[in-house]
Structure 1
Amino acid sequence: MKILIIGPSWVGDMVMSQSLYISLKQQHPDATIDVMAPAWCRPILERMPEVDNAIEMPIGHGEFNLKGRYKIGKALREEQYTHAFVLPNSAKSALIPLFARIPSRTGWKGESRYGLLNDIRTNKKSFGLMVERYCALAYEKHAMHDSSSLSAIPHPKLTVKSESQLHSIKTLGLNQQRPIIGMCPGAEFGPAKRWPDKYFAQVATEAIQKGYQVWLFGSNKDQAVTEDIQQQITPELRQHCFNLAGQTQLVEAVDLLASCEIVISNDSGLMHIAAAVGTKIIAVYGSTSPDYTPPLSQQVEIVHTDISCRPCFKRECPYGHLKCLNDLPPSRVIEAVEKLSS
């Protein structure tokens, strides 16, 4: 088998998609697996042993560009792929495997994809978790009726490179003299996923007082958030809080998150990366639900409120009060830290 995967465009989804690649390799150990995805995904894919090649998708997320997709598909014909798995739900995402003339094209029923895919799965709602939906595609259609049809779901497991890890620690002026709590206070999806900065700062203060150090993770977009958290920590304790937002590449974040004893995170891509490197996770959920995209780690504490309007899966609070996050006190997270530390 020579397989082309049309991968997802979000960091967390890309991490979870590794479970599909593991499942495919378990069934077909000699298969070649290539993944087409945005350029920023390459560092993640390079840490997945099951992936042979990461192919950059030059067409932007949401852009149709029929001519460009035809050109890419035509160029891929010489690779002679035997199977394609299309993970996004859009019709346009299924065009390249069609143009590449890949004989078997598998994916879930979505946006008018009949004809584009020839192995369409229609019972998506029978699989509650996103990772189950990915893994179900690895099996024959008749064998997959619902989540009970699946054997144990293989968890994503990104490779950690100790040499790169130590280099990043040295380059960034970090140390491992105190146990590390990582915090991921951003959320690309929107503010309805972001636990308040002041709550993160309170937890960080408590953790430092108990002998931890805190590393704040995030992208350039999260710098204002992480700076605000750092500034809310008193000067005498601030020396143990390191702001890494915008200071690391994604591949460096993989290694540094693996250095942490515990990671406290909103429902975000970094949460899934932390889970995939085996870190203990405290996952904070606002508008989304752990019943769909939980962190796939062995030691997890999930915290959320139980107000009637959550989960709504909205980017912004439709009522403007963000009670699902504002009513979740720091004490809940501090208790989770103590539980995972014991």
Structure 2
Amino acid sequence: MKKALIVAPSWIGDTIMAQPLFARLHAKHPGLTLDATAPRWVAPVLTRMSEIAEVIDNPFGHGQFDLKGRWRQGRELAARGYDAVYVLPNSIKSALVPFFAGIPRRIGFTGESRYGLINQRHHLDKQALPLMVERFAQLAEAPGTPLPRPVFYPKIVSTAAMQAKTLAELTLPRPDKMVAFCPGAEYGPAKRWPAAHFADLAKRFAASGFAVWLFGSPKDHAVAEEIGRLAPGLTHNLCGTTSLGQAVDLLALADLVVCNDSGLMHVAAALDRPIIALYGSSSPGFTPPLSDHADILSLKLDCSPCFKRECPLGHLDCLNKLLPEQVFAASEKWIAA
């Protein structure tokens, strides 16, 4: 195999967790050219992976079928002469473009009964492959072959030059000591630690001499503003003001990242930043931060993980009762290092 394509997931965290698959493909196929097609909101993390040669825009929004558009993109990709494609999402629509492109080997999990669209099908054994990163890595092997372990942690690139360029672009001074907060979670509010708790924690870090920068998408700007109102003058709200690539470079500067279970948590892990990851409605058993420098805090209540977007019981005890003093205590071993 000389040239292959990745159909990337539509979530930042999932795309980060696919990077060990890319590394395995290069190890198994020296000289491989590996491209990826991805939504534009995911593409910046792929450009930070040394294994990916080119990122091709996937113009289709969440849930958008657009059969004619997918046929057109398939015919455009046909001219690139890919030997194989690895289709990471499990939906039917994600497998249509590679099929229309006539790529000979179309590899993925059976997913939504994708017989014919995927012609090298893996059948998922959830007990054998409990982690998402393992499921992606399995695609590098022949169907039915046990996954070689260990699966190495994802890695993305942020150089000192990239960081300096981002600081200059945003006219930000490089802080002596900085803690990053990632208060959002795209999936829903049941994964978000309360703004009042983040504000209390910001006061504790500020008293220890740390700048506190808040990261996230435009959707997270309002909650970051609320944190700033509750901790006046102690935080810098960058939610929605940076590109994803710029957020990567700024997170790389952090002495510690405090985050919900979110895409930026996986970015921070792939940058090997110390992390305190806060879990409520979701489970670290499937998508934990993949790093030796991460601590996971979860109260493990009887009602969690429920995997709901909003608390079905209306109290969100799994996160409300995870107190700022507990998080700060867990942070001390990292900030004292």
> So what's the TM-score if we normalise by structure 2?
0.95
1:247 aligned to which of 238, 241, 244: 241
Q: 2: CA distance between counterparts of 1:181 and 1:300? A: 14
Matches within 5 A, 1:57-76: 57-76=58-77
Q: 1: CA distance between counterparts of 2:162 and 2:175? A: 19
The residue aligned with 2:196 is 198
Matches within 5 A, 1:303-318: 303-318=297-312
Are residues 1:327 and 2:327 paired?
Answer: no
Are residues 1:81 and 2:82 paired?
Answer: yes
Q: Unaligned regions of 5+ residues in structure 1, if any? A: none
Q: CA deviation at 1:233?
A: 1.4
Paired residues of 2:122 and 2:144 also in contact (CA < 8 A): no
Q: CA deviation at 1:241?
A: 2.2
Q: 2: CA distance between counterparts of 1:36 and 1:72? A: 11
> So what's the TM-score if we normalise by structure 1?
0.94
2:132 aligned to which of 106, 130, 133: 130
The residue aligned with 2:219 is 221
Matches within 5 A, 1:23-102: 23-102=24-103
How many pairs align? 334
Q: Unaligned regions of 5+ residues in structure 2, if any? A: none
Are residues 1:163 and 2:164 paired?
Answer: no
Structure having the larger proportion of residues in helix: 1
Q: 1: CA distance between counterparts of 2:30 and 2:290? A: 23
Q: CA deviation at 1:190?
A: 0.5
The residue aligned with 1:262 is 256
Structure 1 SS opposite 2:18:
helix
Once superposed, what is the RMSD of the aligned Cα atoms?
Answer: 1.4
Q: Which deviations, in whole Å up to 9, do the C-alpha atoms of 1:158-185 show, x marking residues without a partner? A: 1103223123324434334431100000
Structure 1 SS opposite 2:42:
helix
Are residues 1:231 and 2:225 paired?
Answer: no
The residue aligned with 1:108 is 109
| Deviation >4 Å, runs of 4+ | none
Structure 2 SS opposite 1:141:
coil
Identical aligned residues as a percent: 48
Q: Structure 2: which amino acid aligns with 1:308?
A: D
Q: 2: CA distance between counterparts of 1:117 and 1:163? A: 41
Q: 1: CA distance between counterparts of 2:124 and 2:192? A: 32
Q: Which deviations, in whole Å up to 9, do the C-alpha atoms of 1:243-282 show, x marking residues without a partner? A: 1112111100000000001000001111111111111011
Q: Which deviations, in whole Å up to 9, do the C-alpha atoms of 1:130-180 show, x marking residues without a partner? A: 000000111112322xxxx32221221111032231233244343344311
Q: 1: CA distance between counterparts of 2:56 and 2:4? A: 12
Q: 1: CA distance between counterparts of 2:30 and 2:158? A: 22
Structure 2 SS opposite 1:39:
coil
1:337 aligned to which of 320, 328, 331: 331
Paired residues of 1:105 and 1:118 also in contact (CA < 8 A): yes
Q: 1: CA distance between counterparts of 2:283 and 2:221? A: 26
Task: Single out whichever of 74-83 and 188-197 deviates more from structure 2.
Answer: 74-83
Structure 1 SS opposite 2:6:
strand
Paired residues of 1:3 and 1:34 also in contact (CA < 8 A): yes
Q: Which deviations, in whole Å up to 9, do the C-alpha atoms of 1:190-226 show, x marking residues without a partner? A: 0011000000111110011012111111111111111
Q: 2: CA distance between counterparts of 1:153 and 1:328? A: 31
Q: Structure 1: which amino acid aligns with 2:129?
A: F
The residue aligned with 1:16 is 17
